[in-house]
Chains A and B, each alone.
Chain A
Amino acid sequence: MDFLSDVAAWFGEVGRWTDDDGIIVRTVEHLWLAVFPMLLAVLISLPVAVWLGHRRIGAFVANAVVNIGRAIPSFGLIVLAAVFFARAGVSLRFWPAAVALLALAIPPIFTNAYTAIVTVPRETVEAARGMGFTETEVLWRIEVPMGAPLIFAGIRISFIQVLATVPLAAVLSSGGGLGQYVIRGFSQGPGGLVEVFSGAMLIAILTLGADWLLSRGERLILPEGLRGRSSEEIRVAASVS
């Protein structure tokens, strides 16, 4: 009980929410560190994946991307990125984590988008061509809408994974969003556990909340007839941080 009241006191400290190191600033930092690499990852991987899927080529690329993504430890990747940015004399607060997270964000988006397009039934595509659809129309009016659930699922999985990895970036510098509390607490040994626990609660709430919101959003965006193609199995295919 003592411990929990210490945690409650931690949340109630003066400036805990509004300081430069406060929960609000840290949460914004956390979200931005996830959203920025995500946007880049979507811009890079969606066009390539959709195009390869449309041409029905490059299955081995999709396979390789997911396997490589799973084998590389995200923690190691972030620290490796820091090595190169430190050599270049760049501040370690944003860029190393952003670049490492970009690399981690690509595999789920890419693989899901590719699978989404490739698994559109061939007969449907042929029927559209037979009806006089041009290739662009086939892509935009048949393949992309039908693949949309899986494409969205990939983006959601990737975002949650990136959001979950952001805290690790706190080992590099004073950044890393809410992870900063946990890393700082751990470096203080048993005496820092209150901060460790409080930070972890915030991280868990943010991640689970984002996951919930995105899966709700997914359902709202997608037309009813397309909601059947579930994303459950891909969840596992994506690697964790």
Chain B
Amino acid sequence: MILAQETALFDWEWVGRNLDSIWERTLEHLALTGVALAVGIVIATGLSAVALRRPRSYTTITAATGLLYTIPSLAVFALVAPLVGIGTSTQRFITAEIALISYTLLILTRNIVTGINGVPAGVREAATGMGYRDGERVRQIELPLALPAVMAGIRIATVTVIGLVTVTALLGLGGLGFFILDGLRRSIIFPTEIVVGVALSVSLAALIDISLLGLGRVLTPWAQDRGT
């Protein structure tokens, strides 16, 4: 191992021997990201509903989520950890998720609210005139029209979270971040592991970003050139 690191910057053999664990960590990375996004979208939808009904609350919501967004990720993990505990893997998972979710809220809420507010007043009135009730109008008319903005928010949040997940390695999770930290903490730094961690994390972000872009296009065929 030591020899390998002294001769080559990248040791393909190590990758070959560790394919299983690389796959496992990738799935863990995806799980951490997916849960954060799913819960984040649910909470942000709730916050947006409040903000849209009471426009004055929007300032407060933006300030609060902005505060969460500004606090450094490491500090959020560290502030949540004593509250939840880090003794069991479930506790560590919850600690990580709370921090990850807190980062998605500003981006998601803002994009949902901006998207819905961007629906032309005429469209809204026409829908009401056609007999749509409030809830129906929001779900069937306003949300679809706001979708490009919402999808843009989801893309930014996803890419952000994928990067942040690597930091949860410090909690003993970390998905691909595990390789970054493990490579660093060996008695002699092992670059291969670090490069694998970073490269896969970036590729994952790019891949999912492109998939979401594609999904957005499929869902809103009328908005080909917008919302990207």
Q: List residues of A whose CB falls within 8 A of some B CB.
A: 3, 70-77, 79-80, 82-83, 86, 160, 163-165, 167-168, 171-172, 179, 182-183, 185-186, 189-190, 193-194, 196-197, 199-201, 203-204, 207-208, 211, 232, 235-237, 239-241
Does B202 contact A203, Cβ atoms closer than 8 Å?
no
With contacts A75-B167, A236-B156, A239-B163 known, is A171 near B72, CB below 8 A?
no
- List the 5 closest A-B pairs by CB distance, nearest first: A200-B78, A76-B198, A164-B72, A73-B163, A200-B75
Does A240 contact B103, Cβ atoms closer than 8 Å?
yes
Does B72 contact A241, Cβ atoms closer than 8 Å?
yes
A164 CB contacts on chain B under 8 angstroms: 70-73, 75
Does A83 contact B72, Cβ atoms closer than 8 Å?
no
Does A200 contact B79, Cβ atoms closer than 8 Å?
yes
Does A171 contact B70, Cβ atoms closer than 8 Å?
no
Alpha-carbon distance A232/B59, docked complex (angstroms): 12
Closest-CB distance, B22 to chain A (whole angstroms): 15
Alpha-carbon distance A82/B183, docked complex (angstroms): 11
Q: Which residue of B lies closest to A6 (CB)?
A: B82
Q: List residues of B whose CB falls within 8 A of some A CB.
A: 62, 66-67, 69-79, 81-82, 85-87, 103, 106-107, 110, 156, 159-160, 162-164, 166-167, 169-171, 177, 180-181, 183-184, 189, 191, 194-195, 197-198, 201-202, 205-206, 209
With contacts A193-B81, A236-B110 known, is A73 near B201, CB below 8 A?
yes
With contacts A73-B164, A207-B71 known, is A80 near B194, CB below 8 A?
yes
The contact of B74 among A3, A194, A200, A208, by CB within 8 Å, is A200
Does B72 contact A235, Cβ atoms closer than 8 Å?
no
With contacts A167-B74, A182-B74 known, is A3 near B189, CB below 8 A?
no
Does B79 contact A70, Cβ atoms closer than 8 Å?
no
Closest-CB distance, B134 to chain A (whole angstroms): 28
Does A240 contact B160, Cβ atoms closer than 8 Å?
yes
A70 CB contacts on chain B under 8 angstroms: 156, 159-160, 163
Closest-CB distance, B195 to chain A (whole angstroms): 7
Does B183 contact A79, Cβ atoms closer than 8 Å?
yes
Does B106 contact A236, Cβ atoms closer than 8 Å?
yes
Closest-CB distance, A100 to chain B (whole angstroms): 11
A77 CB contacts on chain B under 8 angstroms: 198
With contacts A82-B184, A200-B78 known, is A241 near B73, CB below 8 A?
yes
B191 CB contacts on chain A under 8 angstroms: 83
Alpha-carbon distance A237/B170, docked complex (angstroms): 26
Closest-CB distance, A232 to chain B (whole angstroms): 8
Alpha-carbon distance A196/B86, docked complex (angstroms): 12
Closest-CB distance, B109 to chain A (whole angstroms): 10
Closest-CB distance, A90 to chain B (whole angstroms): 13
Does A204 contact B66, Cβ atoms closer than 8 Å?
no
- Known A71-B206, A168-B167, A241-B72; further 9 A-B contacts with Cβ < 8 A: A79-B184, A80-B198, A83-B191, A183-B170, A201-B75, A204-B71, A208-B70, A237-B156, A239-B159
